[in-house]
């Protein structure tokens, strides 16, 4: 018999966060989160997303053992401002037992109906900066830290319970040797002169912070046309600055500004922390920090996390300026592989900017929906 329990206490929430550590203990591809950071994500007093969203957390039990989990999420900015009456769900993990997944999904569907929402979609997080999608192809590759990993059987559970594909994402990679400066070197010089642009170089996190608010504003503008977009609010900006910016090598952050020092383009790249996080096993102490710092300094694989250009400057070659800056940063560091995080497959604009690097799709993922 399956029992589903809504959880509230810190002790129970820790069980929620740690369940995948048991489920994926034998997987060489799953990357554990830092437990402390994951708990803070769900802390209503620390994560400002809860000012505009709500979440309820559930654990499924079988024979007194935890066998599944799910977070039921309503982003009220999405529901009220965009009239997207969506019931979100994420952090959805379960053993290969249809009774378990059914019981958890029924809780999400019940909450959606209680709030007069039209449909459910998942797995998704609170916003665009959270993890997204269930893997449908490419299970034999290690997961980047900014994505979820799942076993192949997950997809069947969505099919059985009448969920249909909502959005399709792909992840790709290419060797750094595919980055040929002749594709952007001359072009970026012309573009900078034509539009009076310049690239900013950073060596300290404090230098990045001066432009961080502008970056999030530009993120909102450049991504607003995507079907999955939910605006990042001012209070969330402060949270993400503390959570992400200080974690990234400042020289891996590239900004392009105009003659008035206004931001027109940005990109964020991170070293791959996946293997370091596997070694850390969810804990920063006593040795987790050492593994992460080593990856930050010495990793030869890089993850393109975010890239955005002001709508006024799109299709004007600003990406060439950004790529040139990264080439100059990485060319002597022995970088090996460049990875792209999940991107909507119908986002033609983002696909075009990478074409000269001949990326290869190595994983696909999808979100699923069900009408309530």
Q: What is the DSSP string of 335-351?
A: --EEEEEEEETT-HHHH
Helix and strand numbers, DSSP H then E, in the chain: 12, 13
Do 198 and 158 belong together in one domain? no
**Mean of the pLDDT values across residues 344-372?**
91
Quick check: is 358 in a domain? yes
Average pLDDT of the segment spanning 146-158: 97
The mean per-residue pLDDT over the stretch 242-250 comes to 81
Count of all residues that appear for the chain in the document: 372
Q: Are 22 and 126 found together in one domain?
A: yes
Model pLDDT, residue 355: 87
> Which of 169, 186, 205 is at the close of a domain?
169
| pLDDT exceeds 70 at position 228 | no
Q: Is the pLDDT reported for residue 41 higher than 90?
A: yes
Q: Give residue 238's pLDDT band: very low, low, confident or very high (50, 70, 90).
A: confident
Q: Does 314 map to a domain?
A: yes
- Residue 47 to residue 125: CA distance in whole angstroms: 13
Model confidence pLDDT, tens digit, residues 126-146: 987 799 999 999 999 999 989
CATH number at residue 7: 3.40.630.30
Same domain flag for 212 and 334: yes
Does any domain span residue 305?
yes
Query: In the predicted model, what is the mean pLDDT of the chain?
Result: 93
Q: Identify which of 100, 126, 121 has the alpha carbon closest to the alpha carbon of residue 109.
A: 121
Alpha helices in 162-273 (DSSP H): 185-195, 205-223, 234-243
Q: Among 211, 191, 193, 192, which Cα is nearest to 201's?
A: 211
Among 54-58, 350-354, 367-371, the range scoring the smallest mean pLDDT is 350-354
Q: Which residue segment(s) compose the domain that 121 sits in? A: 2-169
Together in a domain, 20 and 70:
yes
Same domain, 148 and 233: no
Residue 239 shares a structural domain with residue 296: yes
- Kindly state whether residues 256 and 195 are assigned to the same domain: yes
User: Same domain for 123 and 250?
Assistant: no
Per the DSSP assignment, residues forming a β-bridge with 93 are: 69
Cα 78 to Cα 85: distance, rounded to the nearest angstrom: 7
DSSP-derived letter for residue 283 is -
User: What element of type H or E holds 41?
Assistant: helix 35-41
Q: What pLDDT sits at residue 234?
A: 82
Q: pLDDT tens for residues 168-226?
A: 999 999 999 999 999 899 999 999 999 999 999 999 998 998 888 899 899 888 877 66
- Asked if residue 243 and residue 211 are part of one domain, the reply reads yes
One domain for residues 159 and 181 = no
**Structural domains of the chain, count:** 2
Residue 76 lies in a domain: yes
370 assigned to some structural domain? no
Judge whether 137 lies within some domain: yes
Per cent of the chain over pLDDT 70 is 99
Q: Quick one: average pLDDT of 117-130?
A: 92
Report pLDDT digits (tens) over 155-170. Answer: 999 999 999 999 999 9
pLDDT of residue 227: 61
* pLDDT confidence of residue 289: 83
Minimum mean pLDDT range among 149-153, 244-248, 255-259, 276-280 = 244-248
Same-domain status, 243 and 353: yes
Q: How confident is the model at residue 324 (pLDDT cuts 50, 70, 90)?
A: very high
Phi, psi angles (nearest 5°) of residue 244: -110, -50
**Domain end call among 107, 140, 169:** 169
Res 90 pLDDT > 90: yes
Q: Are residues 143 and 243 in the same domain?
A: no
Say if 371 falls within a structural domain: no
Q: How confident is the model at residue 240 (pLDDT cuts 50, 70, 90)?
A: confident
Predicted TM-score (pTM) of the model is 0.93
Choose the final residue of a domain: 143, 169, 195: 169
Task: Examine residue 55 and state whether it is found in any structural domain, yes or no.
Answer: yes
């Amino acid at each position: 018999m399956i029992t589903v329990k809504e959880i509230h206490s810190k002790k129970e929430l820790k069980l929620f966060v740690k369940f995948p550590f048991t489920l994926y203990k034998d997987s060489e591809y799953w990357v554990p989160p830092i437990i402390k950071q994951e708990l803070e994500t769900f802390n209503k007093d620390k994560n400002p997303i809860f000012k505009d969203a709500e979440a309820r957390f559930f654990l499924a039990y079988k024979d007194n053992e935890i066998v599944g989990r799910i977070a039921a999420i309503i982003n009220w900015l999405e529901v009220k401002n965009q009239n997207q009456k969506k019931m979100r769900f994420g952090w959805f993990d379960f053993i290969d037992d249809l009774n378990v997944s059914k019981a958890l999904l029924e809780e999400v569907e019940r909450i959606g109906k209680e709030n007069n929402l039209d449909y459910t979609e998942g797995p998704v997080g609170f916003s665009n900066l959270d993890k997204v999608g269930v893997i449908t192809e490419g299970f034999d590759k290690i997961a980047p830290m900014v994505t979820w990993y799942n076993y192949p059987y997950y997809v069947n559970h969505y099919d059985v319970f009448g969920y249909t594909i909502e959005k399709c994402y792909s992840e790709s990679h290419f060797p750094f040797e595919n980055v040929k400066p002749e594709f952007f070197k001359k072009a970026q010089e012309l573009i900078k002169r034509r539009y009076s642009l310049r690239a900013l170089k950073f060596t300290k996190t404090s230098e990045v912070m001066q432009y961080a608010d502008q970056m999030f504003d530009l993120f909102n503008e450049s991504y607003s046309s995507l079907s999955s977009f939910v605006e990042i609010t001012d209070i969330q900006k402060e949270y993400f600055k503390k959570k992400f910016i200080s974690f990234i090598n400042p020289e891996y952050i590239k900004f392009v500004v105009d003659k008035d020092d206004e931001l027109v383009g940005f990109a964020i790249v991170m070293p791959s922390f996946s293997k370091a996080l596997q070694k850390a096993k969810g804990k920063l102490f006593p040795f987790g920090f050492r593994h992460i710092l080593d990856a930050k300094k010495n990793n030869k694989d890089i993850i393109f996390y975010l890239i955005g250009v002001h709508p006024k400057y799109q299709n004007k070659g600003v990406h060439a300026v950004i790529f040139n800056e990264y080439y100059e940063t990485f060319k002597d560091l022995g970088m090996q592989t460049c990875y792209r995080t999940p991107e909507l497959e119908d986002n033609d604009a983002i696909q075009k900017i990478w074409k000269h690097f001949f990326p290869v799709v190595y994983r696909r993922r999808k979100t699923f929906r069900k009408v309530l």
